[in-house]
A and B are shown apart, each in its own frame.
Chain A
Amino acid sequence: MNELALAVHAAAHDLHASEREARSARFAAFAAAFDAAAFVRTLEAQGIRWLARSDPGFPPRLAAIHDPPPGLFLRGAARPELLSRAAVAVVGARSCTDYGAHVARRLARELAAAGVVVISGLARGVDGHAHRGALDGGGATVAVLGCGIDRDYPRAHAPLAAQIVAAGLVVSEYPPGVAPAPWRFPARNRIVAGLAAATLVVEARERSGALITADLALDEGRDVLAVPGEITSALSYGTNALLRIGAVPVTRAEDVLEAIGVEPASPPPGDPPTGAAAAALAALDGGARTADEVARAAGLAPGEAAAALTQLELAGLVTAAAGIYRR
């Protein structure tokens, strides 16, 4: 079957690349005139590869879902085998809180450090922070686009996409030139869920795209995990609802690794902090604090506290957002 022709034909007519469409007469007419070899050459000129579903390298997890794409367009330095490695989807709200951003980044970093591929959708908010966290952790990450493979959407994430291309893969079922459209994102989410062994939802509103991804994962019998949030926050309704119906609560990266059966990595090398840095770190045990509160709790001068917190930040032990520091 000419899978590439199907992918191009479906995108050109805003159709879903289904088995039924593959049997239609209008596709037969299109496929007869389609020059696959020439199309692949123009793709390669743009640094894009095509991975057909019938290719032995096509990720088995994605092939196993009930509605797999005819194939994937790939962009990036990593080999296609990356898609078949142990992987977790980290998804959540676009307008996440600082807490959500921090958790997404930290869990993704620790998962990546343990050798797990982090999959997400390159969207704003949790998605972006998950990709950044994985890059921070020196691991690989895969961004699944809901538009043509040649686009970086949202545009604000173009620099992030460039970093992902350098170390991982950007994938899409849509050929170059396809514009982002609202109905393509739920379709994209089936690929996010399908590529991953488990889906972790960090923050989600009551009705959100992240919950669609979670539903799709459940449909395929994959694990769904959720990070507990404040019961009063609208951004936690979705995740707390998932927990209520039996999703695995995640409070540390080990919870995720256990769910997908990956051995936790040994703790990262590096000396534990001493002196002022240790005091500042201890002051953050009770939760998020401002720099002034850390200084007071640790008995440090404002300048000393700022120096200690920066060193902890550089060591990856502390993050800061809007003037608030978190462990």
Chain B
Amino acid sequence: MLARTVTHALFGLEPRRVEVEAHLQRGVPAFAIVGLADRACQEAKHRVRAGIASAALEWPLRRITVNLAPADLRKEGPGFDLPIALAVLGASRQLPPASLDGHAAVGELALDGRVRPVPGALAAAEGARRSGLERLVCPAESGSEVALAGVRPVAVRHLVEAVEYFRGERDPPEPPRPDEARRAELPAPDLADVRGQERARRALELAAAGGHNLLLAGPPGIGKTMLARRLPGILPPLDDAAAFEVTRIHSVAGLLPPRAGLVRTPPFRAPHHSASTAAVVGGGPSPRPGEVTLAHRGVLLLDELPEFSRPVLEALRQPLEDGAVAVARVGGRAVFPARFTLVATMNLCPCGGRGDPAASCSCTPAQLDRYRDRLSRALLDRFDLVLVLPRPRSHELASAPAEGSEAVRPRVTAARARLASGASPLDESAATLLARAVDRLPLSGRGRARVLRVARTIAALACADRVAAEHVAEALSYRSPAELRSAA
């Protein structure tokens, strides 16, 4: 006796169709799962047996073989519990096997038969849609997530509910409406908290409007991190396509809260500087998204940039250039989107005294060179905006609060719309100034392109149709200064 269900394994972010076949035959009772199942997946045997028993259903005393096909694809995690249970119940005719047609299933089983959520329900739903399956049996918590992919969820809390549904006895309750407000529980920190630092605020606004990577350098304690954390708060909410991408990534990473709808707030990730290369750019034996992917369409903050290990920093260059990370494995190549705005902070020297009038730097020239050498020229070149922040004076800190994030965001949104509508031409005086800067500073080809890009953003923020000389001049002020470059 044979029954078949469909589920999806994840390779990177991509769902791959897996057929779950259960076969029963006479003989000494036994239960085997074949088809390259990992440990968590092998343990499904025990959960499925206990779950079926707890649901007051019968565990068939037969020789049970469950095959996960294709057999060469590695299967991981507990998401196969529910499809295996359904296939076994179908094969033992406790539910009509034909009723399983047109359905995919995903979910982990508890020992008492309850269905637990697993990461990646949204990706699994997308896989179901691509396979032409109209319905996905899933945990109740994932119902709203599945609905986002355009697949009808059969959201069940318990294995019994799934069985009743397939027997045609009763439909499970409708999943609750997705609740988009749930994500906004913790509002991003507000720019109104920042006193003084007008130039840094301006740079944040430019970074938000143009999607420019921003490097803040300066002595410790002057608010570099505080400023950097306020960038997400002035970004406009994600549009539908971006929100779907982000929600899918966060679903696979298990970051979505239960019953969440589309993620509309741009993500913000701030990995610690001890993070490994795989944690930052993604990887692992079965590729998992890294921080750069979790920050897709949002902000990645690397606090104390030179403290990150050199391999991590060098690995960042690919996503910064291509907006994606490709992880090659024996099983195939996983591509993770990683289009984020990078904000980084650093001191001017290892001891932190440099640039601070209230302290003195005790670093030797060799220590300074080593510190600067940690950031390759190639990485430094990826920052459109580089700002050296001096220590603000006490009266600045006592000044009145300035504009809050709510006031800045509309300007950012308007500038983005303007930038998207096409490139603005360069004024004659602006071209002269740029040519002079190329000769005098000197500016590389890539540096010139970067200045031009920032100048366009400045013009867009000023609602100007053409890029004027003053826009280019301001853009030039954000180039990386000599004190951050090695061998200065």
Decide: B487 and A159 in contact? CB cutoff 8 A: yes
Is A306 a contact partner of B202 (Cβ separation < 8 A)? yes
A278-304 interface bits toward B, Cβ cutoff 8 Å, 1 = contact, 0 = none = 000000000000111101100001111
B73 on the A face (CB < 8 A) = no
Count contacts on B: residues with CB < 8 A to the other chain: 39
Q: Whose C-beta in chain A lies nearest to the C-beta of B439?
A: A314
| Alpha-carbon distance between A310 and B473 when the two chains are bound, in angstroms | 6
B326 at the interface (CB under 8 A from A): no
User: Counting CB contacts under 8 A, is A36 at the interface?
Assistant: no
Q: Which residue in chain A gives the minimum CB-CB distance to B474?
A: A307
Contact A304-B365, Cβ < 8 Å, known A156-B487, A290-B390, A321-B483 = no
Residue A311 is within 8 A (CB to CB) of chain B in the complex: yes
- Given A302-B201, A303-B458, A314-B436, A324 and B390 touching (CB < 8 A)? yes
A222 on the B face (CB < 8 A): no
Q: Are B458 and A314 in contact (CB under 8 A)?
A: no
Q: Which residues of B contact A293 (CB under 8 A)?
A: 393
| A322, CB-defined interface residue at 8 Å | yes
CA distance A296 to B462 in the complex (A): 20
Establish whether residues A309 and B396, one from each chain, have CB atoms under 8 Å apart when the complex forms: no
A124 interfacial by beta-carbon distance below 8 Å: yes
CB-CB < 8 A to A303: which residues of B? 202, 458, 462, 474
Given A159-B487, A314-B437, check contact A306 B199 (CB 8 Å).
yes
| With A307-B473, A314-B440: A292-B218 Cβ-Cβ less than 8 Å | no
Q: Which of B168-204 contact A (CB under 8 A)?
A: 196-199, 201-202
Contacts of B462 in A (CB 8 A): 303
A323 touches B477 (CB 8 A): no
Tell me if A322 and B470 are in contact (CB < 8 A). Answer: no
Is there an interface contact between B474 and A292, defined as CB atoms closer than 8 Å?
Answer: no
CB distance from B204 to the nearest CB of A (A): 11
Min C-beta distance of B430 to chain A, whole Å: 11
**Pair A310/B196 contact, Cβ less than 8 Å:** no
In this complex, how many residues of chain A approach chain B with their Cβ under 8 Å: the count is 33
B234 to chain A, nearest CB (A): 15
Contact between chains at B196 and A322 (CB < 8 Å): no
A289 smallest CB distance to B (angstroms): 9
Q: Mark B368-405, 1 if CB is under 8 A from A, else 0.
A: 01000000000000000001111011001000000000
- CB pair A302 B477 closer than 8 Å: no
* Complex: A303 Cα to B470 Cα, angstroms: 9
| A309 contact set on B, CB distance < 8 A | 477
CA distance A299 to B196 in the complex (A): 15
Known: A320-B481, A322-B354, A323-B218. A308 touches B396 (CB 8 A): no
A304 close to B470 (CB less than 8 A): yes
Instruction: State in angstroms the CA–CA spacing of A303 and B474 once bound together.
Output: 6
Q: Are A292 and B396 touching (Cβ within 8 A)? A: yes
Please state if B365 and A291 are interface contacts (CB–CB under 8 Å): no
Residues of B within 8 A of A95 (CB): 364-365
Asked whether, in the complex, the Cβ of A323 is within 8 Å of the Cβ of B202, the reply is no
Counting CB contacts under 8 A, is B476 at the interface? yes
* Contact call B474/A310, Cβ cutoff below 8 A: yes
- Given the interface pairs A303-B202, A306-B474, A307-B477, the reply to whether A322 lies near B483 with Cβ below 8 Å is yes
A281 to B336, CA, bound (A): 49
List A contacts of B488 (CB < 8 A).
156
Complex: chain B residue closest to A312, CB-CB: B473
Does A94 lie at the interface of the complex (its beta carbon under 8 Å from any beta carbon of B)?
A: yes
CB neighbours (8 Å) of A94 from chain B are 365
The yes or no answer to B355 lying at the interface (CB within 8 A) is yes
A98 to chain B: closest residue by CB: B355
Asked if A302 contacts B202 (CB within 8 A), the reply is yes
Bound form: Cα–Cα A75–B198 in Å: 49
Judged by a CB distance under 8 angstroms, whether B348 is at the interface is yes
Contacts A292-B196, A303-B458, A314-B437 known; A322 to B477 CB distance under 8 Å? Answer: no
CB interface residues, B 438-488, toward A, < 8 Å: 440-441, 458, 462, 470-471, 473-474, 476-478, 481, 483, 486-488
Among B201, B462, B470, the one with the most A-chain Cβ atoms within 10 Å of its Cβ is: B470
B487 lies within 8 A of A292 (CB): no
In the complex, A184 Cα to B196 Cα: how many Å?
A: 51
B345 to chain A, nearest CB (A): 14
Q: Which residues of B contact A307 (CB under 8 A)?
A: 470-471, 473-474, 477
Contact A308–B196 (Cβ < 8 Å): no
- The A87-102 residues at the B interface (CB cut-off 8 A) are 94-95
Interface residues of A (CB under 8 A from B): 94-95, 124, 154-159, 276, 290-293, 295-296, 301-311, 314, 320-324
Residues of B participating in the A interface, judged by any CB pair closer than 8 Å = 196-199, 201-202, 218, 348, 354-355, 364-365, 369, 387-390, 392-393, 396, 433, 436-437, 440-441, 458, 462, 470-471, 473-474, 476-478, 481, 483, 486-488
Interface pairs A-B: 9 shortest CB-CB: A322-B355, A307-B473, A323-B388, A323-B390, A306-B477, A307-B474, A302-B198, A302-B202, A156-B487
9 extra interface residue pairs, beta carbon distance < 8 Å, beyond A306-B477, A307-B474? A291-B477, A292-B198, A292-B396, A302-B198, A303-B458, A306-B478, A309-B477, A314-B437, A322-B483
